[in-house]
Structure 1
């Protein structure tokens, strides 16, 4: 699928892929820093990938002016997508911002922007470890 065709995908489709893409970075990070017990891994990963954490990270990326105009547009498409589900532990606004975060990650993954995806994922992981209390 070409990049122009990718722009036709819904924000929710992009978020579906982005959820998995970002979680892979988080899981690898946790194992590489020595977390190996399955229970511990799941609990730790949730700290990075919850809707609240993703919304926090999206707001921090926007504040830090880390994203290109195209990336902000993809985020907004995901954020504004009409979803028929909601998060178990987050309000609607938080859930929608998190969906935008996931859409951005999915778009980067699907368009082959693996270096950019890795850069943003690493930034997000570091930001969670530095400042996120969640």
Structure 2
């Protein structure tokens, strides 16, 4: 049985996934990290928890926080980030500019790529850096 919590796909399988596919996975990874962060730090409770999560996962906020990790990315990570940023998305939310949405998609693609490679520690390292105020 495949353990999808601890998956590590071969590079060829990961390369076959589109940037949008990587971002789709990364979106879930990022949201789970944000929810865990908020609960672990007592940042919000009850109804406020959902609002706090939404505030952190919106494209403008993701784009802002992604800027913090760009200098830390390896060459391979930078390439995945670029690929995600250049993905052809068909609709952009009203609350985000095209540039913000592209940056958020790039971040999600990077997190999806790292997740599929089994690099949980690297995801955590980048996430912690993003959440530092």
Shared fold (TM-score, shorter chain, > 0.5): yes
State the TM-score, normalizing by the size of structure 2: 0.87
How many residue pairs were aligned? 125
Match of 1:96 in 2: 102
Structure 1 residue runs without a partner (length 5+): none
In 1, the alpha carbon distance for the partners of 2:94 and 2:129 equals 26
Which residue number in structure 2 is paired with residue 118 of structure 1? 124
1:24 alignment partner, one of 24, 29, 32? 32
- Measured after TM superposition, the shift of residue 36 of structure 1 is 5.4
Task: Give the equivalent residue in structure 1 for 2:79.
Answer: 73
Of residues 44-53 and 71-80 in structure 1, the stretch that sits farther from structure 2 once superposed is: 44-53
* Contact 1:79/1:96 (8 A) holds in 2: yes
For 2:3, the equivalent position in structure 1 comes to: none
Q: Which runs of 5+ in 2 are unaligned?
A: 1-8
Deviations 1:66-96 (A, max 9, x none): 0000001001111101111212310111111
TM-score by length of 1: 0.86
* 1:13 equivalenced with 2:8 (yes/no): no
SS at match of 2:53: helix
Moved over 6 A (4+): none
How far apart are the structure 1 equivalents of 2:113 and 2:46?
A: 29
After superposition, the CA RMSD in angstroms is 1.4
User: What is the CA–CA distance in structure 1 between the aligned matches of 2:36 and 2:107, rounded to whole Å?
Assistant: 19
- C-alpha distance in 2 between matches for 1:114 and 1:98: 19
After superposition, the C-alpha distances for 1:18-45 in whole angstroms (9 at most, x for unaligned) are 1110111111111111245332111111
* Offset, 1:48: 1.9
